[in-house]
């Protein structure tokens, strides 16, 4: 979010987006924990942060602005376009209706509900 503020980097310009991801990964090297807010899904840059956190054995917390978090090995959003999909089967999922789902409509992977701040072991910052 820091780099996508007006006048900093434009998330819709791939070279600027990549620059922001690289800066975030460097910043993460100094972090004690990586935190990812999943309300809009987990995008490409966040997946890179998850991978880096796991490589560095850095604790990760998945959070939501709402009361509960739905985990599916799964829901990913395309950053700003509002489209979400299951990372396992690539089925398109309406993020507004995720709270109504028990399973991914495509591959039937189960949604697991949890509290808003859950330490899972690998995420973005």
What tens digit of pLDDT does each residue of 71-80 get? 544 444 444 4
Structural domain includes residue 9 = no
Structural domain includes residue 48 = yes
Whole-number pLDDT of residue 109: 75
Instruction: Categorize the per-residue pLDDT at 40 as very low, low, confident or very high, splitting at 50, 70 and 90.
Output: confident
Query: Considering the chain, what is the average pLDDT of its residues?
Result: 71
Specify the number of domains making up the chain.
1
Give the rounded percent of residues in the chain with a pLDDT score beyond 70.
Answer: 59
Structural domain includes residue 52 = yes
Structural domain includes residue 18 = no
- Could you tell me the residue range of the domain that residue 90 belongs to? 33-119
Say how far apart CA 3 and CA 7 lie, in whole Å. Answer: 9
pTM above 0.75, yes or no: no
Residues 6+ apart with CB under 8 A from 10: 4, 16, 17
Structural domain includes residue 26 = no
Structural domain includes residue 88 = yes
Whole-number pLDDT of residue 77: 44
Q: What are phi and psi of 118, to 5 degrees?
A: -125, 125
Structural domain includes residue 3 = no
Structural domain includes residue 66 = yes
Instruction: Categorize the per-residue pLDDT at 113 as very low, low, confident or very high, splitting at 50, 70 and 90.
Output: low
């Amino acid at each position: 979010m820091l780099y996508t503020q007006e006048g900093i980097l434009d998330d819709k310009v791939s070279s600027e987006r990549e620059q922001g991801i690289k800066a975030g990964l460097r910043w993460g090297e100094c972090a004690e924990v990586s935190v990812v807010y999943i309300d809009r899904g987990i995008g490409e840059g966040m997946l890179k942060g998850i991978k880096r956190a796991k490589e560095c054995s850095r604790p990760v917390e998945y959070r939501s602005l709402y009361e509960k978090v739905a985990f599916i090995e799964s829901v990913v959003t395309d950053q700003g376009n509002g489209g979400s999909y299951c990372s396992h089967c690539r089925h398109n999922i309406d993020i507004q209706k995720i709270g109504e789902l028990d399973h991914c409509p495509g591959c039937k992977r189960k949604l697991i509900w949890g509290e808003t701040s859950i330490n899972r072991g690998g995420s973005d910052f």
